[in-house]
Chain A
Amino acid sequence: MVQDIDIADLKRITELVYTKYGYDFRNYAMSSFKRRMLRILELKNLNVESLLKKINEQPAFINEFLDELTVNVTEMFRDPGFWRIIRDEIIPGILLNHKQFKIWHAGCSSGEEVLSMAILLKEMGIESDVTLYATDLDVNILEKAKQGVYPAKNMELNEKNYVRFEGKKSLKEYYREENGKAIFHRELLQNVTFRKHDLVKGEIFNKFDLILCRNVMIYFNQTLQNEVLKKFHESLFKYGYLAIGSKESLIWCDIANRFLVVNNEEKVYKKIKD
């Protein structure tokens, strides 16, 4: 097992992935990136040289690599207080101006937050008025998100979160259990467009009233956080909302003054300047 990996080797890996495949991890936060690399080396039983060789010679390996590299740990209704604010304050605020609107889940991972949003909208009775876009860099995880099928053992935590969110029903009413899997009702995801999108290099593809990007930018360094925030700013309508993770902050970013803090505890911001 490789115990440690030095920065020079990490740079060799990111440079190769960038020049060969165009994925840019050069501005990822070093501490977590290093742990992900050590994890890949251990899981695939490789050392730095054999990993480089594999990336270079086996193009099919890149999706597997991205899948392990990106962090795909998420929950439904993570931070229930956040979801209550979305339901009780943010969405009613959007509805004052538009009956129909668009939400972007940037870095949606396995889709638990997309599904949470779909359930929230259904319980508000406005599911057909809202279009959801869910994007991720990792095509394997995007495929999982589209399925809406999760290990049944995760449901205890998800149900607990849902109860604290004060949902109208029981989470059980939205899925059926089969062979240790929780299979969510297909119609929940019918207004969701899933697509591959790279936050680092990707284009602005639409305009939104609400963008959720929770616990994604924590894996970026501040240079990249700044760049991505500019993209979110551009992708939001004026007075649109941006939600980030509870331990993320915009205050260090160059364009922080173009946003207003709507809820500091749950980190919801509003675009107030173009």
Chain B
Amino acid sequence: MDKYNLNNTYKAVVIGGSAGSFQGIVKILAQLPKNFPLPIIMCLHRLKHVRNGFVEALSLKSTLQVVEPFDKESIKKGIVYLAPSNYHMSIELGNHFAMSTEEMVNNSRPAIDITLGTAGYVYRDKLIGILLSGANRDGGLGMKHIKDKGGLTIVQEPTECMIDTMPKAALALTKIDHVLKIDQIVDFLKELEKHYK
């Protein structure tokens, strides 16, 4: 029955995406169980100087609340967190966020490698990392960090991606656990939720 061999020890889900990932994200957020037992932490490439509108767009169909967290905000289950524009978003030991305005990484701020990498460091084998469609290599190294710390890694099936550079970068850098289509990622997250009941 449980093809993904899941359990109830995970502490967070972290998702990275760029060009071509928006529709997939919307689809995932629209079908998440209402009492999803983990925080969902997202770092998506976005326009640097447009601060408003993205949370609203993602909230339209989301079953869970979507917020852009503040620096040092505690991370809570059942909330979707979105990295704000023009800041890098890290996870700190002690289960809270930290923002930074450091140099761009992979030509990006927020950079997916930073969010994924710090999440991997904090949550170790209690983390699920998901990387979706995207046009640059940002996120590949972050997925490797997650894998190296024992976390579970998923990339979107490259053939389904509008632009497959990002998932392919991850596949080239580490042994990804599951290569899934968006519908399968939704099934995976639903399956995961059952373990927490």
Please list the residues of chain A having a beta carbon within 8 angstroms of any beta carbon in chain B.
Answer: 29-32, 35-36, 71, 73-74, 78-79, 160-161, 164, 215, 217-219, 221-222, 225, 245-249, 252
Contacts and interface: CB of A to CB of B under 8 A. Distances in A.
Interface residues of B, number: 24
A39 B69 CA distance: 26
Contacts of B160: none
A219 B90 CA distance: 11
Q: Which 5 A-B pairs have the closest CB atoms?
A: A31-B90, A249-B70, A32-B100, A218-B71, A29-B98
A247 B98 CA distance: 10
Interface in B67-92: 68-73, 84, 86-88, 90-92
A247 B70 contact: yes
B102 interface: yes
Contacts of A29: 72, 90, 92, 98, 100
B93 interface: yes
A31 B101 contact: no
Nearest to B102: A71
A71 B69 CA distance: 21
Contacts of B99: 215, 218, 245, 247-248
Nearest to A81: B51
A35 B102 CA distance: 9
Nearest to B104: A73
Nearest to A216: B101
B98 A215 contact: no
Interface string B50-72: 01000000000000000011111
A30 B51 contact: no
A249 B118 contact: no
A221 B71 CA distance: 10
Contact of B71 (A35, A74, A249): A249
